[in-house]
Chains A and B, each alone.
Chain A
Amino acid sequence: MILCLVEISDDKVADASLTAVSLGAKLAGENSDSLACVAVGEVSDSARKELGSYGVSTLYLASDSRLSPFAPAGWAKAVLAAVDSSGAKVVLGGSTDRSTEVLARASAKLDAAFMANCIDIKTAGGYQVSRLRWAGSVIEDAVVSDVPVAMFSVVQSELATPMVKETEVQLETLTFDIGDSELRDAVTEVLLPTGDGVSLSDSRIVIGGGRGVGSPEGFKVLDELAGILGASVGVSRVVTGLGWRPHKDQIGQTGTKIAPELYIACGISGAIQHMAGCRSAKCILAINQDRDAPIMSLADYAVVGDLHKILPKLIEELNAAGVKS
């Protein structure tokens, strides 16, 4: 049996979880094995149907309200209860913060292997695993062998989500003791976001500024262009390190990951940590004084020069043409 931890919210299975389910379906197909899922909370008919379209035979569900919105130790116990009930040897999950934490906790309890950010898993005398290191700049090929149970989180973008077959998903309720150990580090309060501004990660156009912007005041010209194009402004890690802009504006490995239609990177060299956050941009336009900066050979379009001379002229011409967001 192959087991997938799935996160369900608003009647929908999270996309990241479906990536894990699709890899689970592939493994089940290759090994003539069956596929089950485990979830915490409530499951709608539509979510159940969605899982059925991947060939999931059983959904193990822990629905005790104390486990919601998020009691990671309790969720890990639910995974272990499902492993017990199903006899699963492999547990997969999406590469979200939650699934990663829960699988790491569950594997720690069993002293079992857990590998994060996997892009492919093959089974043949153990597991041949490919996973991302360095935020995707390096791929690690590894083997896991001699383990009763192995757990893996699967990276979202690398796998297709094929619909293989339709099955009727059987619901199995998980019952286990829930005490202080399961609840002592559960989420106690959720603060919902205020305001309706578009977040950096959801922006269609992002303008990025790096050290080359020169000063906090230097961002005025980026903010102005963002106003005209209806864009958000993001920054490189140097800029937040210098205290010019807050960390929530940071694009990169340890900041926000963006996937806009257009990313205009101004005065940004393009270190791997930054590229890890913007590589999903459909188009990158780089403006940099250093024609040898790494970003200049990665960008779809490059302009060599001082952003403080180029952007004002661009703004002037867009204004003259009457462009408004």
Chain B
Amino acid sequence: MRVLVCVKRVPQAGGKLTLTDDKLAIDTKFLGFTIGPHEECAVEEAVRLVEKFGGSATVLTLGHADSVEQLQFAMSLGVADAILLDNGGAEWGPISTANAIAKVVEEMRSKGDAPDLILFGNEAPDSGDFQVGIRVANALDLPLVTGVKGVEVLDGELVARRESGAAIELTKVTLPAVLTVKEGLNLPRYPSLPGRLKAKSKPINKVSPQEKGDPSKLVQLRLPVEERTGGVLLGEGPDAVGKIIEVLKELGVVAR
């Protein structure tokens, strides 16, 4: 099976986000970078499918030289090679991003190397656009399932499983297809030391994409007013248990 998995380099946010002075981006001076949790599962699934059915997996990102870190992370888990759509690190909108990815897949097709499966995270943790994978499927005229939390492949057909409220929905599609996946699909492995060493010598194919243009323009980012301002320190250690029980009574959680 030939699998293409698409990822995005994003800041590794922890306790609190701060903005740059021009308010156009998150201040990343003190942050590391990563790929989103959904995408970690997409990479893991790509590697598992290749382990099971043979073939190879390729990881793709739109970014710049720094994004090699995320490509190598994916390759350290077992992905064979990478494609870097180098746009100099500009923040492209979903229409431009999807257009650039679809162009690469069309090129793969024309070389007889068409992916059977293209995987995305359900949404990026930072921009939360919920649409790049959907637009790629549309551009390539491929079947698509979003929010996938389970994958089974049998004889060129794929059954995708997702949650709908408390129910489970199954969708059967023929390959090739596009999936956007959610965390919980699998439990991603950690990169091994040999895996990390091997990743450094795996090929990264650089492509210069053209920006199609998005109709939405960022004006500014702002931080919402924190509604939770913190409250009462009840105490320290087991001595605070009496106070905890008072709170439980006040909330009506236990009877007075």
B194-230 interface code vs A (CB 8 A; 1 in, 0 out): 0000000000000000000011111111111011101
- Report chain B residues within 8 Å CB of A122: none
Report if A69-B16 is in contact (Cβ < 8 Å); known contacts: A104-B134, A134-B125: no
Cβ–Cβ < 8 Å partners of A191 in chain B:
167-170
**Among A113, A185, A237, which residue has its beta carbon within 8 angstroms of that of B216?**
A113
Within 8 A of B (CB), among A269-315: 269-273, 279, 283-285, 294, 296-306, 309-310, 313-314
Which of the candidate stretches B55-63, B81-89, B232-240 sits at the interface with the other chain?
A: B232-240
| Minimal Cβ-Cβ distance residue in A for B222 | A139
Complex formed: what's the CA distance from A209 to B175 in Å?
41
Task: Say whether B26 contacts A262, CB under 8 Å.
Answer: no
Q: Which residues on A sit within 8 Å (CB–CB) of B146?
A: 72, 97, 101
A295 to nearest B CB, angstroms? 9
Give the interface residue-count category, chain B: 35 or more
Enumerate chain B residues within 8 angstroms of A232, measured Cβ to Cβ. Answer: none
In contact, B17 and A190 (Cβ under 8 angstroms): no
Q: Collect the chain A residues with CB atoms within 8 Å of residue B112's CB.
A: none
Question: Is A115's CB within 8 Å of the partner chain B?
Answer: yes
- A interface, over-half SS: mixed
Q: How far is the CA of A183 from the CA of B38 in the complex (A)?
A: 26
**A179 interfacial by beta-carbon distance below 8 Å:** no
Q: A146-B215, A187-B171 are in contact. Are A97 and B184 (CB under 8 A)?
A: no
**Is A137 close to B, CB under 8 A?**
yes
A side interface size, CB within 8 A? 95
Given contacts A97-B164, A302-B232, contact A114 B131 (CB under 8 A): yes
Considering only residues 230-265 of chain A, those with a C-beta below 8 Å from chain B are: 237, 240-241, 243, 247-248, 250, 253-255, 261-262
A8 contacts across to B, CB distance below 8 A: none
Q: Which residue of B lies closest to A153 (CB)?
A: B130
State in angstroms the CA–CA spacing of A317 and B130 once bound together. 48
The A-contacting residues of B in range 45-103, CB under 8 angstroms, are 94-95, 98
Residues of A within 8 A of B (CB): 69-70, 72-73, 97-98, 100-101, 104-105, 107-109, 111-117, 128-129, 132-147, 150, 153, 181, 184-193, 199, 205, 229, 237, 240-241, 243, 247-248, 250, 253-255, 261-262, 269-273, 279, 283-285, 294, 296-306, 309-310, 313-314, 317-318, 321, 323
Chain B residues with a Cβ under 8 A of chain A: 13-17, 19, 26, 36-38, 94-95, 98, 123, 125-131, 134-135, 138-139, 141, 143-147, 159, 162, 164, 166-174, 177, 182-184, 187, 214-224, 226-228, 230-238, 240-245, 247-248, 251-255
